[in-house]
Structure 1
Amino acid sequence: MKIKLQREELLRPLQSVIGVVERRQTLPVLGNVLLVAGDDGISLTATDLEVELVAAATQGVLEPGQVTLPARKFMDIVRNLPEGAEVTLALDGDRAVVTAERSRFTLSTLPASEFPTVEDIGETHPLVLPQHDLRELIDKTHFAMALQDVRYYLNGLLLELEPGRLRAVATDGHRLALGEIDGDVSTERQQQVIVPRKGVQELLRLLDDTDEQVRVELGGNHIRVTLPHLRFTSKLIDGRFPDYQRVIPAVDDRVLETSRETLRQALVRASILSNEKYRGVRFVLASEELRIQSNNPEQEQADEELAVQYQAEGMEVGFNASYLLDALNAIDGANVRMGLVDSSSSTILEDPENGRFRYVVMPMRL
């Protein structure tokens, strides 16, 4: 096997896949990257057995073949070569020799046959949509995922396919984020999968804010997302996601509307003197007025007063300020609408001009 191409053409695919290579591995080969040189160019594959990334370079093959190389060492060598350098990689027995200008490096290798890859993910229902739509959907919902919860199915992002629509839902049991986008979905029935946290984070890193199309395929045990020159595959969490529709409150008349940024800044200030562990703030609502109050064990207090659009009867309810701030930061619009029920029920936040994203926050007892 022998390849020759410019440093930048090799560095780009390497940087795309290196994120899934763990520094501590259960299997030595998982610390390597699989390099395959074939008739259609070069592919680089990295995996941690949960997430697999395959990046492609379309030229540079002098002799076909395949090998696995120490991923981070190979990456560091290529990254530190001079810009525009011609990089040659050739096999010499069980070693790989990398040369560029006056530099020469000899790397140990492992057989390509030992490298685990995922080729077929079974029957799929493909969905094609712009990259920025998928990125926005994940970005505005993933923060509500649980972190190392014993209910393992909460440690991921639910993707729900139905005819003409893709929905994302995340919850940690205390708050919930829900978003949906329309798309060309080739399914006649609803399908749900749960993507693990690492897969979600890698997808966010890889997706760009562009109109370029991506292909999303949901298999029985895997999700696959195909981007230009890059293929992402992740195992799914095997579990049943809770019925999220049940926790979305049905709001009648207690609706508050105000400036998103004004409310956000008031919450930031009030939370300074909240209990550091629970981050609790109290909302005191009256006609056209909202007061945000907080206190802590040192008997310190904060009191913020805002003019809001609210005509229903007065009420008091407590919330975790961090959960409210996460939701407000995910909303793009100038205003925010909050739907309230009573002091023991969840509230729902959304952009009055964009109902595609909704956020539910449970109350706190203060």
Structure 2
Amino acid sequence: MKFIISRDQILAPLQQIVSVIEKRQTMAILSNVLLQVNDGSLVMTGSDTEIQMVSKLNLESPADDGEITVPARKFLDICRLLPSAAEIKFELQEDKVKLSSGRSRFSLSTLPAEHYPEFNESEFEYQFLLNAGKFKKGLDKTIFCMANQDVRYYLNGLLLHISNSRLKMVASDGHRLSIFEDDIGQATGYEARIILPRKAVQELSRLLDDGDAELNIQFSNNHIKIYYKDVVFSSKLIDAKFPDFSKVFNQAFMSPMLIQKQLLREALTRVAILSNEKYKGVTFDIAGDQLKLSTHNPEHDEAEEELIIDYQGQPLSISFNSQYMLDAVTNLDSEMSLITIAANASSCFIEEPERPLFKFIVMPMRM
């Protein structure tokens, strides 16, 4: 096995693959990246048994076919620290890989490719094509609401709901919820719901850096496979049912409140400095055209700030986790934010005033 490749060609795909590989592995070979040379192509594979990423690169110089696994992070660090535009010569000699570039020489230990575990995938029943920029936007507008290590394991991920030509992405940690909805661009002819695990969502958000590219998404009840340019991303799915959140829309609401996003964001950030470090609570006192934000903490520090708003409803006092509100407001793309509170004060909707593709819902808290 022998090939030559430029440092600039291999570096980015190798970084993507290494990000999938866990630092601590139960199997030593899973700390390695699988390298396969065949018909003038180099195929690199990284996996943690839950997620797999495969990247295919075309080799411009003649190469000797073969396959081997090498320590992923060491291989990446070598490539990363070589000069830009450097050529890397890769050669397998017995059970060692010799890397050379300019005056640099490296020798890496290996493990046989045949011991690399197969990523078992089921037959894919569903498939659709989607613009990568649209999918990436949906991920970015929902990712921050996912739970982290919640016992309700279905919350440690993101719901992907395909309903013919509509795509809905939903994430929630039980205290807040984000919904992104857009058109797929074609009729799929089916309705399906799957839950992507947290790590898969994070890796996909990192991977999708070309908004004009097209994704080919295939999935079954327990696996998803996404073809993106020269990369194939695969992941197991969370085997559970996402809670029915539609009830939150079927209730009475108070008058909506219109407020400048930037002013609200800055005021929340300032007031939150003196909030309780554990609960981060901020009280919203809404009356007429004024919103008063206030907070206090166990050290008896207090903060308050007043903002001018557009509101026609009844006076109201309600409290929220300031970080949850900040996350929601920050993720709006418009200059204005539209805030609507349920009539029974059980939830608060934050969205853009015109044609919103996404909504954020934050549950109130007791102060």
In the superposition, the TM-score normalised over structure 2's length comes to 0.95
Q: Does 1:227 align with 2:231?
A: no
CA distance change for structure 1 residues 209 and 328 in 2, over 3 Å: closer, same or farther? farther
Partners of 1:7 and 1:278 lie apart in 2 by 48
Q: For the Cα contact (< 8 Å) 1:249–1:348, is it kept in 2?
A: no
The residue number in structure 1 matching 2:26 is 26
Q: For the Cα contact (< 8 Å) 1:131–1:207, is it kept in 2?
A: yes
Partners of 1:126 and 1:77 lie apart in 2 by 39
The residue number in structure 1 matching 2:81 is 80
The letter for the 1-side match of 2:177 is L
Q: How does 1:317-332 map to 2 (within 5 A)?
A: 317-332=318-333
The residue number in structure 2 matching 1:143 is 144
CA distance change for structure 1 residues 37 and 186 in 2, over 3 Å: closer, same or farther? farther
Q: For the Cα contact (< 8 Å) 1:348–1:359, is it kept in 2?
A: yes
Q: CA deviation at 1:81?
A: 2.5
The letter for the 2-side match of 1:147 is N
92-101 or 13-22: which moved more? 92-101
Q: Unpaired runs of 5+ in structure 1? A: none
213-222 or 322-331: which moved more? 213-222
CA distance change for structure 1 residues 184 and 218 in 2, over 3 Å: closer, same or farther? farther
Deviations 1:217-262 (CA, angstroms, capped at 9, x unpaired):
2222112221111111111111111012123463444211111111
Q: CA deviation at 1:151?
A: 0.5
> Residue 63 of structure 1: SS of its match in structure 2?
coil
Q: CA deviation at 1:145?
A: 0.6
Q: For the Cα contact (< 8 Å) 2:90–2:97, is it kept in 1?
A: yes
> Residue 267 of structure 2: SS of its match in structure 1?
helix
Partners of 1:57 and 1:310 lie apart in 2 by 57
Deviations 1:320-357 (CA, angstroms, capped at 9, x unpaired):
11111000011110001111124641011100123210
Partners of 1:209 and 1:105 lie apart in 2 by 34
Q: CA deviation at 1:126?
A: 2.1
> Residue 19 of structure 2: SS of its match in structure 1?
helix
Q: Does 1:99 align with 2:112?
A: no
CA distance change for structure 1 residues 132 and 251 in 2, over 3 Å: closer, same or farther? farther
The letter for the 2-side match of 1:114 is H
Q: For the Cα contact (< 8 Å) 1:52–1:117, is it kept in 2?
A: no
Partners of 2:185 and 2:127 lie apart in 1 by 9
> Residue 26 of structure 2: SS of its match in structure 1?
coil
277-286 or 217-226: which moved more? 217-226
Q: How does 1:51-62 map to 2 (within 5 A)?
A: 51-59=51-59, 60=61, 62=63
147-156 or 36-45: which moved more? 36-45
Aligned residues: 366
Q: How does 1:5-24 map to 2 (within 5 A)?
A: 5-24=5-24
65-74 or 123-132: which moved more? 123-132
> Residue 128 of structure 1: SS of its match in structure 2?
strand
Q: For the Cα contact (< 8 Å) 1:46–1:52, is it kept in 2?
A: yes
Partners of 2:265 and 2:347 lie apart in 1 by 19
Partners of 2:169 and 2:199 lie apart in 1 by 16
The letter for the 2-side match of 1:161 is I
CA distance change for structure 1 residues 219 and 124 in 2, over 3 Å: closer, same or farther? same
Partners of 1:239 and 1:61 lie apart in 2 by 49
In the superposition, the TM-score normalised over structure 1's length comes to 0.95
Q: For the Cα contact (< 8 Å) 2:40–2:63, is it kept in 1?
A: no
The residue number in structure 2 matching 1:164 is 165
Q: For the Cα contact (< 8 Å) 1:176–1:360, is it kept in 2?
A: yes
Q: Does 1:353 align with 2:354?
A: yes
Moved over 6 A (4+): none
Deviations 1:265-313 (CA, angstroms, capped at 9, x unpaired):
1111221221111111111111222111211122222221111111111
Q: CA deviation at 1:40?
A: 5.3
> Residue 310 of structure 1: SS of its match in structure 2?
coil
Q: How does 1:1-366 map to 2 (within 5 A)?
A: 1-39=1-39, 41-59=41-59, 60=61, 62-118=63-119, 120-184=121-185, 187-248=188-249, 250-342=251-343, 344-366=345-367
Q: For the Cα contact (< 8 Å) 2:194–2:238, is it kept in 1?
A: yes
Q: CA deviation at 1:61?
A: 5.0
CA distance change for structure 1 residues 30 and 285 in 2, over 3 Å: closer, same or farther? same
Partners of 1:61 and 1:124 lie apart in 2 by 39
227-236 or 240-249: which moved more? 240-249
Q: Unpaired runs of 5+ in structure 2? A: none
Q: For the Cα contact (< 8 Å) 1:254–1:341, is it kept in 2?
A: no
Q: CA deviation at 1:102?
A: 3.1
Identity of matched residues, %: 41
Partners of 2:122 and 2:181 lie apart in 1 by 25
